[in-house]
Amino acid sequence: MGGPTSAPFGTASPSPTPTALTPTALTSTVSPTPTPTVSTPAVRKPRLPRVKPPQRPEPKPTATKRRPPPAPARTRRPPAPARIVHPGSFCSPPGAVGRTRSGTRMVCGSRGGDRARWRSG
């Protein structure tokens, strides 16, 4: 067990000596190869247009106009209280309308040139 492969830890084993490289040795071992000079036109990459990131639509400002108030709902007016008239009594103006106590419709009018009186109509 005493060979170079079975050396115990801590003992030096023979190693190959490094060869010293001199500047002349470097240039002699590496021969420069001439690079061909080919002129190629410079190719530029096309620039892509800048795209803005999508923006959230801003809410439109609300108008400060006041809306007109809604029109009042149309309701039927109750009929004007009927004028209570007595048949045959004088009246004016001709064409006026009235009602008797029993609800009969009467119209003020004249016949034959006399004064206007309430008549059924």
Find out whether 91 and 118 touch, Cβ atoms under 8 Å. Answer: yes
pTM of the model: 0.34
Q: What is the per-residue pLDDT for 89?
A: 93
Q: What is the per-residue pLDDT for 5?
A: 56
Burial class (CB in 10 A: 0-12, 13-18, 19+), 119: middle
Q: What is the per-residue pLDDT for 70?
A: 85
**Strand-by-strand arrangement of the 117-120 sheet:** 97-99, 105-109, 117-120
Q: What is the per-residue pLDDT for 11?
A: 55
Find out whether 109 and 119 touch, Cβ atoms under 8 Å. Answer: yes
Q: What is the per-residue pLDDT for 24?
A: 54
- Ranges of residues in the chain with a pLDDT under 50 are none
